[in-house]
Amino acid sequence: MVLALLASSLFPQRDPQRHQSGDNRLTLASPHIRDILAASPVMPVIVLDRVEDAAPLARALVTGGIRVLEVTMRSPAALESVRAIRHQVPEAIVGVGTIVTVADFDAAVAAGAAFGVSPGSSDHLLAHVAQQQLPFLPGCMTPSDLMRAMEAGFDAVKLFPAKQAGGVEMLKALGGPFPRIAFCPTGGIDALSAPDYLRLPNVACVGGSWLAPANLVNSGDWEAIRLRAVAASALRAVATASGKTSR
């Protein structure tokens, strides 16, 4: 009883992952993180060193069919880049990734992110997020991580680093004890391996950096990035045509 009360106070119940304000949102009244993951088969993991690259990059990805974008907090330009995308490419669903502290989360909210992503999870971060309304994708790698996320009210997580954690076979194994969890595997995934993940019934989408590599962003080759997005946007259909793999 005492443990149950403690868990309830640490991770208060929430209407899972709902967010209703702001102009950079899905065309839904209150999108769940699963709605966001379903909007694109691939979530580009983006690093931006120059704010001026943000809008043309987002426009290339959206034009190519990829709407959900994760701008990582790995550079000083990240949050201003999110603001630029929100105002100049409103069709994009732009979130903030590499959230590792409560301060990071609050900064993402202030920048107008449509969602947040973390590479891992801590009780302190999950407890803070659970009291907010921003859709959030916590990072997990082990069954214990998943149990912690579930206790905090999450039913969709980022498996990171996916390849190093066991890849497709790891996701198959996790599907048994955690049948209600949806995954966005990220880390070590490319255009060739992505369909193998998307065939799994517990994979909502995959994350990857191959859509917007540094060399193409730095050279401003937006057409090359658009073409990568076109190919990536077709990956869900490719996986569906070849049939979902059973757990």
- Active-site positions read 70, 158
19 within 8 A of 115, measured Cβ to Cβ: yes
Q: Token match 């039913």: residue?
A: 155
Q: How many CB atoms neighbour CB 145 within 10 A?
A: 17
| Residues across the chain | 247
CA distance 225 to 230: 9
Q: What's phi and psi for 195, nearest 5 deg?
A: -60, -35
The vertex-28 CA angle with 196 and 51, nearest 5°, equals 70
Eight-class DSSP state of 94: E
The partner residues of 136 in beta bridges, in order of sequence, read 116
CA dist 224 and 222 (Å) reads 5
30 C-beta neighbours (distance < 10 Å), count: 15
Cα–Cα distance for residue pair 105/19, rounded to 1 Å: 14
